Amino acid sequence: MQRSAVLVKPDGLQRGLIGEIINRFERKGLKLAGLKMTKLTDQQLDEWYAHHKDKPFFPKLKGFMMQTPVIAMVWDGLDAIDTIRKLVGVTKGREAEGGSIRGDFAMSVSNNLIHASDSIESADKEINILFADNELFDYASAVDLLIYSEEERGA
Ligand code: IDP
Ligand code: MG
């Protein structure tokens, strides 16, 4: 099983899409391991988006991400990182495939509603930035018996 960090960004919160986004993850069969509302700090965003720090859009991106609190989540599942990236869609909303979150609800390359980890390394980093160990939960899910095969449950 893998863990992925997900944020509902300020535009998702303002547009009332928190429930819609969580609903898609739940329906898919992903398991919620942690959830909080938090206001990202300048320092957290420098770390979170370190690989974008030289991009021209970096200062605006930080400002956008600090406009309101965000909803931070950790979701568990088999190959959760790639699976969630597919549910989210490509960065530019107007190019994202219909059926994906950005494809269904976003038009912008910057105001694209949601963040999702893109690798195991970034998931580890992002989870550490936002969650303490005692804020993450590992619990038996009754529906995992239906969602995965026996072999997959052992993976
Ligand atoms: P991702 O969120 O799909 O992984 P990244 O390329 O990692 O996309 O970029 C991080 C975030 O920075 C994007 O989600 C978006 O909010 C913003 N961003 C990316 N590219 C641009 C751009 O060309 N102009 C403005 N903002 C951008
Ligand atoms: Mg990214």
Give residue 84's region: left, alpha or beta (phi > 0; psi -120 to 50). alpha
Candidates 49, 60, 61: which one to mutate for ligand 1, based on the most atoms within 8 Å of Cβ?
61
Cβ contacts of 91 within 8 Å, gap of 6 or more: 102, 109, 112
User: Residue 150 to residues 8, 25, 139, 155: CA-CA distances in angstroms?
Assistant: 32, 22, 17, 9
Q: Which CATH number fits domain 2-153: 3.20.20.70, 3.30.565.10, 3.40.50.800, 3.30.70.141?
A: 3.30.70.141
Q: What is the DSSP letter of 54?
A: T
Q: How confident is the model over 130-141, as a mean pLDDT?
A: 97
Position 154 confidence tier, pLDDT thresholds 50, 70, 90 = confident
Residues carrying an active site annotation: 115
Q: Is the pLDDT of residue 78 over 80?
A: yes
Range with the poorest average pLDDT among 22-31, 103-112, 137-146 = 137-146
- Condensed to tens digits (0 to 9), the pLDDT of residues 54-66 reads 999 999 999 999 9
Closest by Cα among 11, 35, 1, 5 to 125:
5
Q: Is 57 in the pocket of ligand 1 (CB under 6 A)?
A: yes
Percent of the chain at pLDDT exceeding 90? 97
Q: Whose CA is nearest to atom 16 of ligand 1?
A: 110
Q: What is the pTM (predicted TM-score) of this model? A: 0.97
The β-bridge relationship of strands 31-38 and 2-8 is: unpaired
Give the type of residue at 117.
Answer: S
What are 110-129's pLDDT values in tens digits? 999 999 999 999 999 999 99
Structure tokens given for 41: 């700090």
Q: Whose CA is nearest to atom 15 of ligand 1?
A: 110
* pLDDT above 90 (res 11): yes
CB 87 within 8 A of CB 137: no
Closest-lying ligand 1 atom to the alpha carbon of residue 91: 3
